[in-house]
Amino acid sequence: MSTKKKSQPSTQSLAPAEKARLEARLAVLDSPKADPIAPVMNALNPLLGDEPDDDPNQLHSRYRGQLLKVDINSIEPIDDDGINGFVQLYWNGQSILGSRYNFTSPVTTIPFPITLDLPGNYTLSPGTYPLTYRLHWGPNGVGSVPLMVNIDTLPPNGGSSGPEVILPPQVESEGITKEYLDAHPEGVLVTIPSTYGDAKLGDQIEVHYGTSIPDSIVVGIFTRTDMADPIEVFLTRALIGTAEGPHYIFYYLSDRKGNKGPESDFKRVGVTLTTRPTNLKVTVVPEAADGLIDYEDAISSGGVLVRLDAYDSPQFGQDKFVVSWDNITQPEVDIVGFPTFATVPFVDVKNGNDGPDTVDVDYVIRRGGNTYSNPPVTLIEVDKDLRKPGPPNPEDPPGEQNPALAQVVVQGRATTVPDKLTAADVGPDPAYDFVDAEVAIYPERKAGDHFQLYWRDVAVPPPGGVYDLLGTEDPLTFKVPFEVPRAIVLAGLNDSKFPVNYSISHPSVNGNVDYAVPKEVDVLVVPITVPDPAFQNLYEFDPSDRDTWIVACCSRRNDTILGEVIEVLVPGEPTASLADKTLDFTFQGWSDAAGSLPITGTRYTNTFTPTTEQATNGFIFKVPYEPYLRLIADKYCSIKYETVINGHPAPSNEDFKEVFMIINGTETCRTFDGVPCIS
Query: Model-level pTM greater than 0.75?
Result: no
| pLDDT digit string, tens, across residues 87-133 | 999 999 999 998 999 999 999 999 999 999 999 999 999 999 999 99
Domains defined along the chain, listed by start: 40-151 (2.60.40), 156-272 (2.60.40.10), 286-385 (2.60.40), 409-524 (2.60.40), 534-668 (2.60.40)
Cα–Cα dist 35/303, whole Å:
80
The per-residue pLDDT for 637 is 97
Cα–Cα dist 561/622, whole Å:
11
- List, in sequence order, the alpha helices (H) in 364-472: 375-378
> Does residue 541 surpass a pLDDT of 50?
yes
What is the full DSSP assignment across 550-564? EEEGGGEEEETTTEE
Cα–Cα dist 321/371, whole Å:
10
> Does residue 29 surpass a pLDDT of 70?
no
Q: Which of 128-142, 266-280, 414-428, 492-506 has the lowest mean pLDDT?
A: 266-280
Cα–Cα dist 343/330, whole Å:
8
Q: How confident is the model at residue 603 (pLDDT cuts 50, 70, 90)?
A: very high
Cα–Cα dist 489/44, whole Å:
60
The per-residue pLDDT for 370 is 65
Q: How confident is the model at residue 470 (pLDDT cuts 50, 70, 90)?
A: very high
> Does residue 4 surpass a pLDDT of 70?
no
The per-residue pLDDT for 2 is 39
The per-residue pLDDT for 661 is 93
Cis before residue 627, ω within 30 degrees of 0?
yes
Average pLDDT of the segment spanning 170-184: 91
> What distance, in Å, lies between the first and last C-alpha atoms of the chain?
50
> Does residue 542 surpass a pLDDT of 60?
yes
Selection from 154, 172, 183 nearest residue 267 by Cα: 172
Task: Give the number of other Cβ atoms within 10 Å of residue 49's Cβ.
Answer: 10
Cα–Cα dist 378/371, whole Å:
14
Cα–Cα dist 591/585, whole Å:
20
Average pLDDT of the segment spanning 639-666: 94
Average pLDDT of the segment spanning 335-339: 96
Q: How confident is the model at residue 8 (pLDDT cuts 50, 70, 90)?
A: low
The per-residue pLDDT for 1 is 39
Helices (H) and strands (E) in the chain — how many of each?
A: 10, 46
The per-residue pLDDT for 343 is 96
Q: How far is CA 36 from the centre of its chain?
A: 45
Cα–Cα dist 89/633, whole Å:
33
Question: Higher model confidence: residue 193 or residue 670?
Answer: 193
Helix or strand run (H / E) with residue 299: helix 295-299
The per-residue pLDDT for 16 is 77
**CA contacts within 13 A on the Cβ side of 253:** 27
Question: Is 411 in a helix, a strand, or coil?
Answer: strand
Q: How confident is the model at residue 642 (pLDDT cuts 50, 70, 90)?
A: very high
Per the CB < 8 A criterion, the answer to whether 388 and 346 are in contact is no
Per the CB < 8 A criterion, the answer to whether 207 and 261 are in contact is no
Q: How far is CA 671 from CA 549, 621, 636, 661, 678, in A?
A: 22, 21, 21, 12, 18
Cα–Cα dist 144/428, whole Å:
75
Question: Is 584 in a helix, a strand, or coil?
Answer: strand
Per the CB < 8 A criterion, the answer to whether 387 and 346 are in contact is no
Selection from 89, 132, 82, 134 nearest residue 109 by Cα: 82
| pLDDT digit string, tens, across residues 506-527 | 999 998 999 999 999 999 999 9
**Residues in the chain, how many?**
679
> Does residue 363 surpass a pLDDT of 50?
yes
